[in-house]
Structure 1
Amino acid sequence: MSENLKTIRELAEELGVSKQAIQYHIKSLTNKTRQTNDKGIVVLSLEEQQFIRSKVDKQTNKNKTNDKQKDKETKWDIHNYLISELDEVKKNRDKQLAVKDKQLENKDSQISQMQNLLDQQQRLALQDKKLLEEYKAEIKDLKALAMPIREDEKDVSHQSETVPAQAKPKKWWQFKKRGQKND
């Protein structure tokens, strides 16, 4: 771990304040995940330490007359801390925008693929419709080409219509009954 990173306890001892006072000032820092060391203890970066120092110094100097130089240093420390935080936010924003841009490119390519597939489907449906119409036309032509009935065939068909209907065939059990009667 870097020497620039300090735990809350170390910073509190260095500044001569309680850990609770340091934690109070940490609340005024921007909300972000804190770094931890290999033991899982929260550590503060150099900018965070300077920000907290300036806050603690400001509180301890309330009863004393404020020196213009210290006030400028405090403002400068806060300014530097805020600039570093702003840079970090910009980096995160840029990363997120890059990811979103890539996602949009992927979506655009997916949309173009879907449009191509839809076009293909429509073309195939149109081809199927044309084939179906062609088949219907062929069937109609074949029906029209059916051979006409000749005159002598017409006479035969009329005769079959005038012939009385034949008797219905008998069932097998009816034959058996007749056979028994004759015996």
Structure 2
Amino acid sequence: MEKSYSDFAKELGVSKQKLNYYVNDENKEKIFIKKGNKNYVTEFGQEYLYKKTKDKNEKKESEKKEKNFEVFFDSIKEKDKQIDKLHQLLDQQQRLSLQDKKLLEEYKTELSNLKALKMPEEELNIGIEQLKKELEKANDEIDQNQAKLAEKDKQIEKDEKINKEWSESNKELEKENESLKMELQKVQSKKWFQFWK
């Protein structure tokens, strides 16, 4: 059924000028028919213009999604770099913690050796006090390192959660994109006279 030019443009949600973009001298007679002072769009013209505007919109949507994918993948790469850096810091903190433990064992051994030498009580007390201070300092450093490790663990857990959410979001976007492609192929494979049945 023929439709007026303005009504058909409204139906597609585009301006009449936009529809004119797809009309040329070769197809003008097939697309339009003039009745009185009004232009009407033929059935062929309706199908032709519908397909052209839809293809354009789908192309824009596809380009937008591709751009979003690029931004998304860049974000994932950046997160991966941050996670690698956090792992390096965690390894460094673990090495420091092991060194501190080794130092504590050495202090304990030294203390035992001092006791075995039966040094004069005053000198022994001075040595013990000094060792206690060093042990306390070492313990404080261990506590600080453990607190830092706990913070790093929390950050890594948080980053992995974000990474997982992004991965799931990416899968959903890929499914949606695949679905749109299949729909487009279905529409393109139909003959124009089947389209209006």
Which structure shows the higher helix fraction? 2
Q: Which structure ranks higher in relative contact order (CA pairs < 8 Å, sequence separation ≥ 6)?
A: 2
Which bin holds the TM-score, normalised by the shorter protein? 0.3 to 0.5
- Bigger Rg, which one: 1
TM-score, structure 1 as length reference: 0.47
TM-score, structure 2 as length reference: 0.44
